[in-house]
Structure 1
């Protein structure tokens, strides 16, 4: 059975025949916890977690101290395990030989027997206090190491954030440049260009707001669609919009093109579709489907109750954005259906493996 001891416990090693009653009585009277080890091996095993060791000289004579020496040699920098060596007066003994015998123990204080009680207890408490200072140093070293690790982790995280910010700013500027160019080509007047460009930049800002809520990692699909539909709910918003689907978050690189696509559909519905007249409805719904090799997100935009939607004679910016950008940036398949009852757009988009979603819908 494994023995567990406290950091302020005094280990005791002495021959079985040695009478320790006087010493143990003094230890108990002075509130010193102690544990008597069976042999050198147990002492070596318990020493790293103890407060020190009281060892009789005779207990180390003629025994293998290899385990104890290895423990001492393997101590961490903060540790210098202390010993209280109980020795008998022997005027005939070679003191140099005795010192050499205990040199490998390192931090040794010798107490000659018979001892004075106050000298004995004073040495014991001094030894235990010195060991406690070592433990405090260990905790300080551990705290410093933890702070260093946290600092290094923080610096690395900061470098990643700066690099990510640079990447996002670069992509955002490229997107704005592309929006300006495409909007200019599809606009007939300067005012039309101004309004369309401001609307698209505002749509990007709304997507960024949704992403900022989750530290630019993911965007809840419901919040993403609402960010494009709700800001347009002004006097021109004559119909009704419904959003329905399971709770799902998509990564930022998919959120931006998808949010912009919903913006284009919203503006088109306000100008020509179901949101341009009372009684019209736009239903945005989505579901997660299992494909052979991955999960797929199916998004449907369906308009009803609006004016007839003939197939357009020319492809505007919105349809080009849906078909080109979503395919390029989201690997999505886009289907545009111009039904008499209203426009239907179906988007199939592969989801990354770590996409967060819960397969339930709101009541």
Structure 2
């Protein structure tokens, strides 16, 4: 059974020139659990040194000090550590002064004659500070997500527009255009759906492959020898999804899946090249009609090669062996990706 983490001790900067008052304040703060750490500053110099270190969660300050006053201490704190709660602990604090201190950013004030209020005031100030910090963190995260989404949408739309234009240029009929374009867009949609399920962090290679080939599976004609578990970042998942779609479409039209006996074998491994992990994947067609190199590369071949080369810094080798097409795809996996499992 997991153990609960104990709450961290609050760190308090106490600006107080009177040792006796400082001792009384410390005694009342012992009612907070866990008991906070207290750093006392008794002069302007010590206070400014503590502000520079920024190693505290709340400031408690007397209002009247020998070499400067509490308002000056508040202004220094507001300038250097504006997110740290500032509480006056004073023997005398008139109503007008209290209102002015709040206007300048003070969180609360506690009279030394009523130090019994101090623990609750400190805990409340700390809770409010944590809430503000969490709210800012959430807003910052939201802003990052919106920027990332905007970036991805722009890239996706650019890719879609390119695919639409190139598919139209390489299609002889409206029917072939619709078929080819639908397949490519479906491959992109499937990859996006898979990434969405993982909060757009990564996708397993095997899942990307299965999303592409499963709709075309007839009689176990795909033989997948799963290699190590590989998690792909979004760019790699989209590039491979498009590559698998082009290879599958080509196999159905011209290759091993164009007859009743052909099969496709797929396997992959993880390699180390110059200390960097690479994915090596092979698509091998057997039992289909004899193949030969085309007179010129079609858009499907170009799409595979360019996406692997330019998007993933990898390479694609197509071998039009008489027994069937062999496609070798290799590209470096992110060295910072901790989700690659041998």
> TM-score, normalising length from structure 1?
0.64
SS at match of 2:325: strand
What's the CA shift for 1:206? 0.3
Q: Hey, what does 2:340 align to over in structure 1?
A: 357
Count of residues in Structure 1 that have an aligned counterpart in Structure 2: 264
Task: Tell me, in whole angstroms, the C-alpha distance in 1 between the residues paired with 2:23 and 2:240.
Answer: 68
Instruction: Confirm or deny that 1:162 pairs with 2:146.
Output: yes
Q: Hey, what does 1:278 align to over in structure 2?
A: 260
Structure 2 vs 1, CA of residues 211 and 291 (structure 1 numbering), >3 Å: closer, same or farther? same
Structure 1 gaps, min length 5: 1-38, 53-66, 81-104, 109-126
Q: CA RMSD of the aligned region, Å?
A: 3.4
2:317 and 2:327 in contact (8 A); partners too: yes
Task: Tell me, in whole angstroms, the C-alpha distance in 2 between the residues paired with 1:209 and 1:132.
Answer: 58
Match of 2:168 among 184, 191, 201: 184
Q: Which has the larger radius of gyration?
A: 1
SS at match of 1:303: strand
Equivalent residue runs for 1:158-307 within 5 Å: 158-233=142-217, 239-307=221-289
Equivalent residue runs for 1:9-158 within 5 Å: 43=23, 47=27, 49-50=29-30, 70=42, 76-77=58-59, 107=91, 130-158=114-142
Structure 2 vs 1, CA of residues 205 and 319 (structure 1 numbering), >3 Å: closer, same or farther? same
Task: Tell me, in whole angstroms, the C-alpha distance in 2 between the residues paired with 1:257 and 1:68.
Answer: 60
Task: Tell me, in whole angstroms, the C-alpha distance in 2 between the residues paired with 1:351 and 1:129.
Answer: 66
Deviation readout 1:248-298 (Å, 9 max, x if unpaired): 111112211111011100111111222233332212211111111411111
SS at match of 1:358: coil
Structure 2 vs 1, CA of residues 245 and 131 (structure 1 numbering), >3 Å: closer, same or farther? farther
1:238 and 1:280 in contact (8 A); partners too: no
